[in-house]
Amino acid sequence: MPDTALRNVRLIIIGDEILSGRRQDKHFSKLIELLSQRGMRLRGAEIVPDDRPSIAHTLKRSFSGNDVVFCCGGIGGTPDDQTRQAAAEALGVPLALHPEAKRLIAERCADLAQKGQGSSDMSLPENQQRLQMGMFPQGAEIVPNPYNKIPGFFIRDHTFMPGFPVMAWPMMAWTLDTRYRHLQHQVAYTEHSFIVFGLPESRIAPVMEELERRWPGVKAFSLPSMSADGRSHIDLGVKGEPDAAAQALAFLREAAVSAGGTLNPPQK
């Protein structure tokens, strides 16, 4: 597929701590924000446990496609970090110490030594263990980490980053602006909505179907909510090409009012 073709962007989050609730994921909303700033959209996300077979299975399926994928978590040097190994397994290639990663990790150790934290002697067991974080699937390229120099890696349109937001988010932005600038602002896209009260979804659903027939490139959506006192409302909206979406939104708003809905909250 040519570089200029539209590409889906997906997110894979790896970590038992997310699935157990010990930590709350922050990458999902941040990646949406970064993509939106660049005229791009997130098209899918999944959470995978810290289990090498599960990660390898997920990545093997993911590598077989053409999506741009960001993968957060599990690239550290402790036994529960299995993402590097699983990526190599999924690709059928060995792990190898990346020379640039080796240099950067040594720089990090030297920086820490200057602060009185450890030694810059890379032959020491603890620093040899740190070098494990530079063992990437053969053929991978590094992803710079401005926070502490220890890089992530990139291979087959998959960008692998630590789970820490302070590291991962700059790496996401760098990847989007360095590797995928040509995918930014390819398609004019907008999303608009309004709140309507006193209108059941069943009554507006046929209008939404008619809207999508009239404007084929526009999608209508309905997000119902119920307040604590039992009063309901719907967040009705459209998304798509700006001019068509604006026409469709006006049609939807007029139809919602004609169907008995109100744009003002009911009096208590």
Measured CA to CA, the distance from residue 64 to residue 99 in angstroms comes to 27
Asked if the model's pLDDT at residue 262 lies above 60, the reply is yes
Q: Which residue has the tokens 């008995």?
A: 260
Domain boundaries, the chain: 9-183, 190-258
- pTM for this prediction: 0.84
CB 35 within 8 A of CB 176: yes
Average pLDDT, the chain: 93
Residue 162: pLDDT band with limits 50, 70, 90: very high
The arrangement of secondary structure in 190-258, i.e. its CATH architecture, is 2-Layer Sandwich (3.30)
> Which run of H or E residues covers position 235?
strand 232-240
Measured CA to CA, the distance from residue 99 to residue 102 in angstroms comes to 5
Residue 266: pLDDT band with limits 50, 70, 90: confident
Beta strands in 15-140 (DSSP E): 42-48, 68-72, 95-97, 135-137
Considering the chain, what percentage of its residues have pLDDT values greater than 70?
96
Domain 9-183 fold is: Molybdenum Cofactor Biosythetic Enzyme; Chain A (3.40.980)
Residue 253: pLDDT band with limits 50, 70, 90: very high
> Which run of H or E residues covers position 60?
helix 52-63
Read off the tokens for 30. 């941040």
Instruction: Answer yes or no: same fold for 9-183 and 190-258.
Output: no
The helix/strand count (H/E) of the chain reads as 9, 11
